[in-house]
Amino acid sequence: MMINRNILTLEEFRKQELRFLSHATGELSNLLRDIALAAKRVNVEVNKAGLEDILGDTGKTNVQGEGVQRLDEYANAEFMAVLRRGISCAGIASEELDDFICFDEELCNQSKYVVVLDPLDGSSNIDVNISIGTIFGIYRRKSQKGIPCSKEDFLQKGENLVAAGYIIYGSSTMLVYATRRGVNGFTLDPSIGEFTISHPDIKCPKNGNVYSVNQGNYYNYDHGVKKFIDSCQKKSGSDSSACSLRYTGTMVADMHRTLLKGGIFLYPATADHTKGKLRLVYECNPFAFILEMAGGKATEGENNILCIQPESLHQRTPFFAGSYQMMKSFLSD
Ligand code: AHM
Ligand code: MG
């Protein structure tokens, strides 16, 4: 098989993009490079899972009362260390941290960005070799450059995101990121240890024939959601527009498929969990931003996710996202 050696690495791609942005300082590119570096390190550990003693539970729970896996802890520490050393980020908020962390060092305080992060999404799939991921969002600080960052820097509406992206540790490892200029995907070339452009200018197909939901919770969903799921199923059988159900339990994997192939992803509220399960700041907002930049749509049921003012770092929200047409029919149901 021929490998194309002329394709751009993430850094080369960013350098070329910068030529079109006369005002850019390169700080965002540096930050993306740091995220890519941390991702490569996490990828090494993910690939060794099973060989080395890094699988399983730590025995601890996070601020949300969920069990923390050892790889969760490793990924969180790795991203935190790389972003701190990289000095292009003033602080981070993470699923694995009770509160945000301000790097509060002279060089980091000079940075204009903060990062929100789910270091290892799909933790329950780690032990069984199903794709897992990292989700990130990058905000310009509200607080002044030069002083330590503050909570208001992290509690911004998704519409203020400067960039958002994810890494999927799957059959290959990919980094996908979105800015207002578009969405681009890079595949890790293990022979050179670099992310190289493989999916330029990603557009989410206008329509799709896959729905992705934890159907086990069906009887706890509200009437509108049940009706939509029923309508997806009724199309099956002899109907040529049949919908298939695909659900891995890793948001990154299910959203990656939805972005590339079209379809809809749903994580609704239930009678017991009236805000759903997924977290607004570091799971839903980054994906809503990516989907919108790729021509898709995301809501919390009625309102655009990106317009919600977060009140706390670990706030949950129902989440529905996908192809423009499928989302339209979901919203009209
Ligand atoms: P995590 O961030 O602790 O891994 O949890 C979030 C995950 C998402 O990736 C996924 O969409 C969802 O939880 C699956 O939840 P459920 O098992 O309730 O369907
Ligand atoms: Mg998660």
- In three-state secondary structure terms, 85 is helix
Instruction: Please indicate, yes or no, whether residues 22 and 171 belong to a single structural domain of this protein.
Output: yes
Structural domain includes residue 100: yes
Ligand having the closest approach to the CA of 125:
1
Which of 177, 199, 221 delimits the end of a domain? 199
Residue 3 falls inside a structural domain = no
Q: For 138-178, where are the alpha helices, taking DSSP H only?
A: 151-154
Q: Which of 277, 314, 320 to mutate to test the pocket of ligand 1 (most atoms within 8 A of CB)?
A: 277
Split at pLDDT 50, 70, 90, the class of 20 is: confident
CA pair distance 227, 233, nearest whole angstrom: 10
**Domain end among 199, 224, 247:** 199
C-alpha 235/C-alpha 221 separation (Å) is: 20
| pLDDT score of 239 more than 80 | no
pLDDT at 51: 67
187 and 302 in a single domain? The answer is no
Distance 262 CA to ligand 2 centre (A): 21
Q: Is 182 helix (H, G, I), strand (E, B) or coil?
A: strand
**Token pair recorded at residue 166:** 């994810």
Asked if residues 111 and 147 have their Cβ atoms less than 8 Å apart, the reply is no
Number of domains in the chain: 2
Q: Identify the band that residue 237 occupies on the pLDDT scale cut at 50, 70 and 90.
A: very low
Q: What is the mean pLDDT of residues 108-131?
A: 92
Residue 2 has pLDDT above 70, yes or no: no
3-state helix, strand, coil in the chain (%, to 5): 35, 25, 40
Quickly count: other Cβ atoms within 10 Å of residue 277's Cβ: 19
Q: Are 49 and 180 within one domain?
A: yes
55 and 89 in a single domain? The answer is yes
The CATH number assigned to the domain holding 260 equals 3.40.190.80
DSSP code for 281: I
Q: What is the mean pLDDT of the chain?
A: 92
> Tokens 């540096």 — which residue?
30
Query: Tokens at residue 108, please?
Result: 């980091």
Mean pLDDT of 14-29: 86
Q: Point out the domain boundary residue: 199, 228, 263.
A: 199
Q: Which of 60, 97, 251 to mutate to test the pocket of ligand 1 (most atoms within 8 A of CB)?
A: 251
Q: Name which residue sits closest to atom 14 of ligand 1, judged by CA.
A: 249
pLDDT: is 87 or 52 the higher one? 87
Q: Which of 73, 150, 35 is closest to 104 using CA atoms?
A: 150
Residue 56 banded pLDDT, cuts 50, 70, 90: low
**Do the domain assignments include residue 1?**
no
| Residue 17 shares a structural domain with residue 160 | yes
The CA 241 to ligand 2 mean position distance, Å, reads 31
The whole-number pLDDT of residue 240 equals 58
- The best mutation among 250, 264, 266, 313 to test binding of ligand 1, ranked by most ligand atoms within 8 Å of the C-beta, falls on 250
Closest CA to 203 of 185, 217, 227, 189: 185
Range of the domain at 219: 210-332
Specify whether 22 is located in the same domain as 170. yes
Residue 4 belongs to a domain? no
In a domain, 16, yes or no: yes
The predicted pLDDT at position 267 comes to: 98
Say if residue 45 is in the same domain as residue 124. Answer: yes
Which pTM value belongs to this model? 0.93
Q: 220: which 2 tokens?
A: 């706890």
126 pLDDT band, cuts 50/70/90, is: confident
Residue 330, SS3 per DSSP: helix
Least confident of 98-102, 171-175, 230-234, 326-330: 230-234
Residues 132 and 250 in one domain: no
On whether both 43 and 191 belong to a single domain, the answer is yes
Together in a domain, 162 and 80 = yes
Question: Residue 321: which H helix or E strand, with range?
Answer: strand 319-322
Task: For residue 204, tell me if it sits in a domain.
Answer: no
pLDDT at 146 over 50: yes
d(CA 38, CA 319): 28
Residue 25 confidence (pLDDT): 86
Query: In angstroms, rounded to a whole number, what is the distance separating the alpha carbons of residues 120 and 261?
Result: 23
Q: Is residue 239 part of a domain?
A: yes
| pLDDT for the residue numbered 52 | 64
5: in domain: no
Ligand 1 atom nearest the C-alpha of 267 is 11
Ligand nearest to the CA of 136: 2
Determine the atom of ligand 1 nearest the C-alpha atom of 216.
Answer: 19
User: Residue with the nearest Cα to atom 5 of ligand 1?
Assistant: 122
Residues 43 and 163 reside in one and the same domain? yes
What is the 8-class DSSP label of residue 193? Answer: T
Q: What is the CATH number of the domain that holds 153?
A: 3.30.540.10
pLDDT-above-90 percentage for the chain: 77
Measure the CA–CA gap between 181 and 176, rounded to whole angstroms.
13
Q: Say whether pLDDT at 1 is over 70.
A: no
Closest CA to 213 of 144, 292, 170, 270: 270
Do 149 and 244 share a domain, yes or no?
Answer: no
Distance CA(67)–CA(61), nearest Å, equals: 4
Distance CA 7, CA 19 (A): 18
